[in-house]
Structure 1
């Protein structure tokens, strides 16, 4: 499944960029998992795929840190409360 090119309804340009990058990285992880499911991979091919998957996991871990979580929390706090309508 590919992400669409439609803009995100996010006010913060920084959060918008981070969410877009997160989606791209998740798509990459998904592709790597599909590659691992291929039959007849050599040990070298498996090692290369696993190394890329490890790099993605490290990137995602850093990417989704406290700053990212705080930006999401701030965005959520800025949303209108639908119950007040």
Structure 2
């Protein structure tokens, strides 16, 4: 089952959307890694895969920037402390 087939239980719509997009991009990276593991790739094939991999890595880097981190931190502050022991 793909990550996008499941509901993400966060209250902030923007964060939920960003997490969905992050999951999709991570799946793309895993696919590219599997492609790089294939035997007998030509140099042209490797170059195409690596170019896509670089693009995905840049997207992930930008995607997980300060705004995303702030949204995650804000979501965490909304969580209860009920699981903590006294």
Give the TM interval when normalised to the shorter protein.
over 0.9
User: SS of 1:41's equivalent?
Assistant: coil
Q: Which stretch shifts more, 44-53 or 74-83?
A: 74-83
Gaps of 5+ in 1: none
The aligned residue for residue 77 of structure 1 is 77
Query: Given the two structures, how large is their TM-score scaled by the length of structure 2?
Result: 0.92
Gaps of 5+ in 2: none
- Residues 29-79 of structure 1: CA distance to partner in whole angstroms, max 9, x if unpaired? 000000000001000000000000000000000000000000000000011
Query: Given the two structures, how large is their TM-score scaled by the length of structure 1?
Result: 0.93
Counterparts of 1:38 and 1:45, CA distance in 2: 10
The aligned residue for residue 36 of structure 1 is 36
**Taking structure 1 as reference, are residues 42 and 81 closer, same or farther at Cα in structure 2, changes over 3 Å only?**
same
RMSD (CA atoms): 1.6
Aligned residue pair count: 85
- Deviation for aligned residue 1:83: 4.2
Q: Which stretch shifts more, 45-54 or 74-83?
A: 74-83
